[in-house]
Amino acid sequence: MNKKKLIIGLGTGRCGTVSLCNILNQIPSSFFVHKGFMLPWYGQSDIAIQKIRKFLNDTDKQYVGDIGFYWLPYVEKVLSVFPKTKFICLKRKKKDTVSSYLKKTEGRNHWIEHDGRFWRKDYIWDRCFPKYNVKAKEEALSLYWEEYYSNASELQLSYPQNFKVFDISVLNSPESFFYVLDFLEISRVTIKPVRLNTIQTQTKGQRDFSSQSNNLLEKVKTRWFFEKKFLPWRLEHVIQRRGGLINYFLAPFRRLYFRSRINFKYSNYNIGVIIPIRNVEPFRLYHSLDSIKKQKYDVGKIECLVIDYGSTTKYISEYLTIVNSYGFKYLYINIDHEWSKAHALNIGLRNVFSPIVAISDVDIIFSPTFFQSSIKILKDDPCAVIYSFCLDLPEEENSHFYNLYLKRQGADINRVKDIGIKRWNAQPSYGPLITYKVYFELIGGYDEFYKIWGAEDDDLYVRFLKLGLHEKVLSDHQNFYCHMWHEKWGGLLTERKFQAILQNKAHREKTTVIKRNSNKMGYIVKL
């Protein structure tokens, strides 16, 4: 670890940090991530140091680090433990930074404490920024920029060998970036230049799409004659998700075939719930199972299988106690290769025997009528897959959940609904779902190529659409589910996780077939 050079990039954000990360990764024997630590702005110095140690131990690269605006309050603490660390702070003009943030965070405000009525709360990013006692978002952003670079200037004076502020223009050419390499004490190497959109000049004859009028006629002109796309964008998006024009037109015929060939008429509608788990706090499992046990469901039975894909010994006995207390089933799989949530889910699919399957997560709390309402939809449309929006809960709520767990008390569903917020991108969550088990079997279940941090849920969603199924979103004041807070990337984006993400992304982009796993869905290698 002593041979490694720790380099941390920072700046207010919206100032070229993504480009900086991409450039640093061009250095031989380097590994850099962008916002891979996700530190809160206040009070986690010891945790930051622990994460750095783990990050350094996870890679054998020589030049490593994270690029993120949130590092500014931790500079002195990091230097006290890792005195040779280099900090690169990018600086962009205040007007441009504020303008870019206003556009990027429309509808949200990370810089002012608020109750969520005027701006949407964001439990992931709100914690990462400082707060200002002003009313206008633009004013708060201006104060943020001023305070950030005032503190950065002081750090540069105090630690001239370790901390330096660079104008964003250093990213524009290999020659200008040489100054950064010299500061880092890295030999000058050929770097592919990055042209920043913020300072590019428009060439003659180039059309500025951002200046287009918002009226419908101009949008049509832009799309048809300049972007060379001849379908309305919504229709094109639907066709693309269906896997192309052929699958789009085949979808209704496939649904007719399913209705004619598959027996969807049951005397009761039993549901098998599958919950994968691996080394998470037991209170999460407790509240998830408690919400399932309390479902108001009178048209069948609800069975639940908790599939453990490699938890350490300290968790297993507690998991067993919780699962047994609710009369559910627990299956532990000792997998001696890279863990795969997709593989674990497929093992679960092989071990539940209900005609309807619900895929959940250990962090999910369902409203009492969620399953009942989902079945009503499936009765009317047996070619549907039920999804919902995810209501995120705040970080501080975890201590409340833990205290309830110690008392063996369930969460107040009305309370969690009131404090839960819909994710700002307004997209349904494609992890939890409910549909007929036969559809999983038709497509071979989850693609078991995905390891560590995969995109198995998004991949499954796309393949269900290609199969011809309907996406149904169940979300109202009575039917919802809440997500207990946890850190992104499990708290740290290490090289191992990052490489898995890249491999999974490449696999998803190049693999178009609907059926996966060569008829070995959930094949158990070792028990």
Second-level CATH architecture of 5-184: 3-Layer(aba) Sandwich (3.40)
Q: What percent of the chain has pLDDT over 90?
A: 75
Q: What 3-state class would DSSP assign to 8?
A: strand
| pTM, two decimal places | 0.88
CATH code of the domain made up of 271-518: 3.90.550.10
Query: Distance between the two ends of the chain, CA-based, in angstroms?
Result: 36
- The CA distances from residue 104 to 99, 303, 386, 425, in Å, are 9, 44, 31, 12
Would you state the pLDDT for residue 200? 38
Length of the chain: 527
Burial class (CB in 10 A: 0-12, 13-18, 19+), 315: middle
Average pLDDT, rounded, for the chain = 89
The pLDDT assigned to 139 comes to 97
How high is the pLDDT of residue 521?
83
Beta strands in 300-371 (DSSP E): 302-308, 329-332, 356-359, 364-366
User: Where do the domains of the chain lie?
Assistant: 5-184, 231-262, 271-518
**Are 237 and 427 within 8 A, CB to CB?**
no
490-495's contacts with Cβ under 8 Å and 24+ in sequence apart are: 491/38, 491/51, 492/36, 492/37, 492/51, 492/54, 492/55, 493/33, 493/36, 493/37, 494/36, 494/54, 494/55, 494/58, 494/59, 495/31, 495/58, 495/59, 495/61, 495/64
Judged against a pLDDT cut of 80, whether residue 527 lies above it is answered with no
The whole-number pLDDT of residue 157 equals 98
Per-residue pLDDT for 280 more than 50? yes
C-alpha count within 13 angstroms, C-beta hemisphere, residue 469: 28
359-366 average pLDDT score: 98
Query: Residue 245 corresponds to which amino acid?
Result: L
Residue 202 has pLDDT above 80, yes or no: no
Retrieve residue 397's tokens: 């709520």
Give the range among 6-20, 325-339, 402-416 with minimum mean pLDDT.
Answer: 325-339
Per-residue model confidence (pLDDT) at position 192: 82
Tell whether the model's pLDDT for residue 201 goes beyond 50.
no
Reported confidence tier of residue 240, pLDDT bands at 50, 70, 90? low
Alpha carbon distance 482, 128 (integer Å): 22
Residue 216: pLDDT over 90? no
3-state SS, residue 185: coil
Which pLDDT score is estimated for 223?
A: 45
The string of pLDDT tens digits covering residues 445-491 is 999 999 988 899 999 999 999 898 989 999 999 999 999 999 988 89
388 near 428, Cβ under 8 Å?
Answer: yes
pLDDT of residue 204: 35
CA quadruple 448, 454, 460, 462: dihedral sign: negative
pLDDT score, position 382: 92
* Residue 196, token pair as written in the block: 């920043």
Residue 320 and residue 288 in contact, taking contact as beta carbons nearer than 8 Å = no
* Residue 453: predicted pLDDT: 83
Give the lowest-confidence range in 112-126, 192-206, 342-356, 418-432.
Answer: 192-206
| Placement of tokens 């949130």 in the chain | 70
Longest CA–CA span in the chain (Å) reads: 76
**Which whole number is the average pLDDT over 171-175?**
90
Residue 32 has phi, psi (to 5 degrees) of -130, 145
pLDDT grade for 131, boundaries at 50, 70 and 90: very high
Tell me the pLDDT tens digit for each residue of 302-349.
999 999 999 999 999 999 999 999 999 999 998 666 789 999 999 999
DSSP per residue, 232-255: -HHHHHHHHHTTSHHHHHHHHHHH
Q: Which of the four pLDDT bands, split at 50, 70 and 90, describes residue 218? A: low
